[in-house]
Amino acid sequence: MARDIVHTCSECGFQSPQWHGRCPGCEAWGTLVEERVLARTGARSSASAARGSGRGSRAGRHTGAGGEVAPCPRPLREVTATTAARLSTGIGELDRVLGGGLVPGSLVLLGGSPGIGKSTLTNMALGNLAGAGHATLYVSGEESAEQVRLRAERLAPGALEVPILAETDLDAVLDTLATHSPRVCVIDSVQTLRAGELTGAPGAVGQVREVTGRIMELAKERGIAVVLVGHVTKDGALAGPRVLEHLVDCVLQFEGERERPYRELRALKNRFGSTNEAGLFEMRQGGLVEVLDASARFVAGATRAPGSVVLAAMEGSRPLLVEVQALVAPSELEQPRRVVSGLDRNRMALVLAILGRHGGVAMGGADVFVNVVGGVRVDEPGCDLAVALAVASAARGVPLRGTPRACFGELGLTGELRWVGHPERRLTEAAKHGLYATIAPADSGPGACEVTTLREALAAALSSEANRPTRVAA
Ligand code: TYD
Ligand code: MG
C-alpha cells in the first residue's frame, strides 16, 4: 500500500518517508515537516504535469496502468517555436528586467521582504495592462479587497480597473482563472494559497509546490502570464523550497531598505532574458517611480570629503555611478568592527587584506565602515577599487585628488588591478556627469587614468604626502 505520509524539508524540498532531525538533502537541522497526502486525483502528479505541459507535444504519451508508451523525441529543427509577443507592463524598468515584458504562459516569481512594495508594483503593472485593454486578475490572499482598493486609490487611475479576487483556496482560484482566462494574473502571495487535498498550513513546502505546479499547468495551457508574489526569509532567500525557483521561468527579487526610498529590482533567473538587468525605483506617495537619472543624483550628492569615492558600476547592461563612503576609526573592541552595507562582506574583508599587504594601508585594530550611499546594492567585481580608495582616503584623512573622482576595477590577490567588463560604458557615464580621469585598469580605453596595480591607483588618487605607509592606531 502506498504511504500517505511524507516528510519534506522546508529548505531544500527533500522528501523522505521517515523523519530525520537533520535533513539528508541539505543538512539543515529541524527542517523536516510531516505532510499527509489525503488524495491524489488524476494520474499525474503536479511535478510531472509541470514538466509535460506546454513544453511541446504530449501526444502519444500513454499513462495506462499496464505500461508506458515512451514519447518519441524529435530533432530540434522540427520543433516549431513561435515567438509570442510580450506584454508590456507599462513600467519601463520592470519590462527591462523581465527581458522586454511578460511572456504569455510564463510564471514569474517576485520575491521581497514585507513592505518593500511588491503589491504596489504588481498593482501598478496590472493597472497599466488593464488600461491597455488586456484582461487582468489580481488574486489577493493576504489583504481584503477593501485594503487593495485603498492602495489602488493612491496609484494611477488604471489600478482601480483591475478585477480582484480575495481568495485563498487554490481550487476557487483555478476555477476563476479557467472561467475568465485573463491574459495576466497576479497571485499575492503564493504562500497564502491552499490546496485542499494536501494537509499542512498554507506556505508549507508541499502546499507551495502543489499550488505553483497546478497554477503553472493552467497558465501554460491557457497562455496566461502569471506573477507569483513570494515572501523572503530573514536571510533574504525566497521562503519555501528551492524547487519553486526551479519550477518558474523567471525569479525577480525586489530589494532595498524599508526606511529608504530606493528599491532595486533584479532578475535572479530568467528563461527569457538576461539575469544581469536591474531596475531602480523610488517609493513615493503615488506609488513606485522609476529612477532614470540615478547617476546624476548620486554624483550631485557625493560629499567630496575624505573617504568618499564615486564608483562607476554596471547594473546589468546599464552603467550607474554611486558614491562609496568609508569611515576608519580607532576601535575599543578586542575584535574591531567591519561593517558594510550595499556590498559583499567577504569582498570587503578581501579588499582590506589586499590594501594592508599591497597598498601599505593597514587597518590594524581600527573599526572600518563602508557604505554605498542611498541604500543601493552593488554586486560586481568592479567595486573593489572603490572600496580600497575610499578606505585609504578615510584612513589617511585626505580627500581624493580632483574629487569627486570616479573609479572601477577588480583587485587581484597580488595587488594587481584587473580589467572588468564594459569599461567604455562606465567611462562615458562618468564623463557625462562631469567626472574625468577616472581611475581604471589597463586597456579600459581613452579618457581613463589607467593604472595596473593598487599602489599606482593610490598614488594617482591621493596626494603625494598622503602616500606614505599608514597604520591606523587601535
Ligand atoms: P506594499 O506594496 O504593500 O509592500 P509589500 O507588498 O511588498 O509588502 O507597500 C509597501 C509600502 O509602501 C507601504 O508601507 C506603504 C508604502 N507606499 C507608499 O509609500 N506610497 C504608495 O503610493 C503606496 C501604494 C505604498
Ligand atoms: Mg503585499
Q: Is residue 460 classed as helix, strand or coil in its secondary structure?
A: helix
Q: Of the bound ligands, which one is closest to the alpha carbon of residue 116? A: 1
C-alpha of residue 174 to centroid of ligand 2, in Å: 21
CB-side neighbour CA atoms (13 Å) of 14? 19
Shortest-distance atom of ligand 1 to CA 286: 22
Q: Are 73 and 232 in contact (CB under 8 A)?
A: no
Q: What mean pLDDT value characterizes the chain?
A: 86
Q: Each residue of 218-247: pLDDT tens digit?
A: 999 999 999 999 987 666 566 555 668 888
pTM of the model: 0.78
pLDDT reported for residue 473: 54
Question: Where on the phi/psi map is residue 230: left (φ > 0), alpha (ψ -120 to 50), or beta?
Answer: beta
Instruction: Give percent of the chain with pLDDT exceeding 90.
Output: 58
Q: Each residue of 453-465: pLDDT tens digit?
A: 999 999 999 976 5
Which is more confident, 310 or 53?
Answer: 310
C-alpha of residue 116 to centroid of ligand 1, in Å: 7
What cell was used for 457? Answer: 591607483
Q: Of the bound ligands, which one is closest to the alpha carbon of residue 256? A: 1
What cell was used for 274? Answer: 538576461
C-alpha of residue 64 to centroid of ligand 2, in Å: 44
* Residue of 91, 283, 288, 290 best suited for mutating to test ligand 1, as the one with most atoms within 8 Å of CB: 283
Q: Are 250 and 269 in contact (CB under 8 A)?
A: yes
Residue nearest to atom 1 of ligand 1 (CA): 117
C-alpha of residue 140 to centroid of ligand 1, in Å: 15
Shortest-distance atom of ligand 1 to CA 121: 2
Residue 168 pLDDT level (bands cut at 50, 70, 90): very high
The angle at the Cα of 279, spanning 305 to 249, to the nearest 5 degrees, equals 145
Which is more confident, 296 or 8?
Answer: 296
Question: Rg of the chain's alpha carbons, rounded to an integer?
Answer: 26
Looking at residue 328, its amino acid is V
Residue nearest to atom 25 of ligand 1 (CA): 287
pLDDT reported for residue 121: 96
Q: Each residue of 9-41: pLDDT tens digit?
A: 877 778 888 889 998 988 888 888 887 765 554
Q: Are 331 and 337 in contact (CB under 8 A)?
A: yes
Ligand 1 pocket residues where CB is under 6 Å = 112, 114-120, 151, 154, 283, 285-287
Residue nearest to atom 15 of ligand 1 (CA): 115
Instruction: Find the helix packing angle between 205-222 and 170-180, rounded to 10°.
Output: 10
C-alpha of residue 164 to centroid of ligand 2, in Å: 14
Estimate the share of the chain in helix, then strand, then coil, as percent rounded to the nearest 5. Answer: 30, 25, 40
CB within 8 A of 346, min separation 6: which ones? none
Find the mean pLDDT for residues 354-379: 91
Looking at residue 177, its amino acid is L
Residue 178 pLDDT level (bands cut at 50, 70, 90): very high
C-alpha of residue 109 to centroid of ligand 2, in Å: 14
Q: How far apart are CA 458 and CA 447, in angstroms?
A: 18
